[in-house]
Amino acid sequence: MKAHYKFFFQKTIRLGIQLSLIFFALIPAPSCSTNHTREVSLIWEKQSAKAISVPSGMLDPEKQDSIGHHLFVHLKDEPVGILGAYHMTDDQIIFTPAFPFTAGKTYDVVYKQKLLTRFLVPLPDSAAAPVLLSLYPSTDTLPENVLKLYLNFSEPMREGESLKHISITNNNGDTLHNTFLDLQPELWNQERNILTVWFDPGRIKRDLIPNLKLGKPLKSGEAYKVQVSSLWKNTQGVALRENYNRMFVIANRDSVSPDPRKWKITSPAAGTKDPITIHFPESLDYFLLKEMITILDKQGNTVAGEIRILDYELGIHFYPGTKWIPGGYRVRVGAQ
């Protein structure tokens, strides 16, 4: 598995007489709802408790600029109010915390130093608990110098605590220490459901001080198990549905860059939306594949479509947005 590409490469595609493309070796909650009652109620958005509504009749007459001096929301038994914004309407005051309320936690609403009410943010059904959908590389054999893992969750997860919940054990059941790079901030995608975890490159690179002092994090010929704890919670405070475990075996170092000349390409027929299929002789980086491979038409324009990764990252299907038309095409590999 390669961590990155250091080349720019193109393959030319021509259309044959038979109009085929020939490649040459070049809580169950509504999406948004408010419960208008004479009681404090939660406001939900996409199964997240985003705010509370306090009926104006429960309070003394207030002005917008003064309500924040009298009305506070804080975790039960904690005196410090949580940060947030207030918005007044004709019949209610909306308090929106800086971060959504945490499922399973109890909060107090205090008005003029007196407890107005107390509410519990319900936990969703177990079916709604987040899960670890996949871990990449998905192959069971990894090179000794593998650089990183990708964890793909079903929902946004809490940041800053990944190393508390991810561990690797050897064949004797011993937990490996100082294996991963402790990056802060962590490397999450924008949606916060895909995390990139780096093995410490200082231990992988030969003759560096961490390598000389601690040795290689993973050793060729050894078996290991990566574990992800079910104690890890999503941004709403709901823990993973179950623990995740996966075994893998370490092979020799892989220091050879990917060579597109060794890729096998299966061409689709013109007039169809059948995919271009490219097979690799080895597993490549799952997420970089979608960034590094582009299909160009004979004018050099990018062909719109979707890349789907094959099992174990040993190839791709490229499905065009429209039917293939006669002409020349190129597969471009490298920086966009």
pLDDT of residue 23: 42
Q: Which of 35-44, 297-306, 323-332 has the lowest mean pLDDT?
A: 35-44
Q: Is the pLDDT of residue 205 over 80?
A: no
Q: CATH says 9-26+257-333 is which class?
A: mainly beta
> Confidence class of residue 22 from pLDDT cuts 50, 70 and 90?
very low
3-state secondary structure the chain: CCCCCCCCEEEEEEECCCCEEEECCCCCCCCEEECCCCCCEEEEECCEEEEEEEEHHHCCCCCCCCHHHHEEEEECCCCCCCCEEEEECCCEEEEEECCCCCCCCEEEEEECCEEEEEEECCCCCHHHCCCEEEEECCCCEEECCCCEEEEEECCCECCCCHHHHEEEEECCCCECCCCECCCCCCEECCCCCEEEEEECHHHHCCCCHHHHHHCCCCCCCCEEEEEECCCCEECCCCECCCCEEEEEEEECCCCCCCCHHHCEEECCECCCCCCEEEECCCCCCHHHHHHHEEEEECCCCECCEEEEECHHHCEEEEEECCCCCCCCEEEEECCC
**The pLDDT value given to residue 8:** 43
Residue 285: per-residue pLDDT: 94
Q: Give the residue among 145, 252, 235, 147 at the shortest CA–CA distance from 197.
A: 147
Q: What is the pTM of this model?
A: 0.68
Q: Which residues pair with 95 in a beta bridge?
A: 52, 86
Binned at pLDDT 50, 70 and 90, residue 15 comes out as very low
pLDDT of residue 25: 32
pLDDT of residue 335: 60
Q: Where are the domains of the chain?
A: 9-26+257-333, 32-120, 127-251
Intrachain domains 9-26+257-333 and 127-251 with the same fold:
yes
Q: What average pLDDT does the segment 146-159 reach?
A: 95
Please tell me the predicted confidence (pLDDT) of residue 28: 34
Q: Which of 108-122, 194-208, 278-292 has the lowest mean pLDDT?
A: 194-208
CATH architecture of 32-120: Sandwich (2.60)
Does residue 260 carry a pLDDT above 80? yes
Distance CA 4, CA 189 (A): 17
Confidence check: pLDDT of 126 > 80? no
Instruction: Band the pLDDT of 123: cuts 50, 70, 90.
Output: confident
Read off the pLDDT of each residue in 291-319 and give the average, rounded to a whole number: 95
Nearest Cα residue to 178 out of 202, 159, 147: 202
With bands split at pLDDT 50, 70 and 90, how would you rate the model's confidence at 220?
Answer: very high
Q: Which CATH architecture has domain 127-251?
A: Sandwich (2.60)
Q: Using the predicted structure, report yes or no on whether residue 24 has a pLDDT greater than 70.
A: no
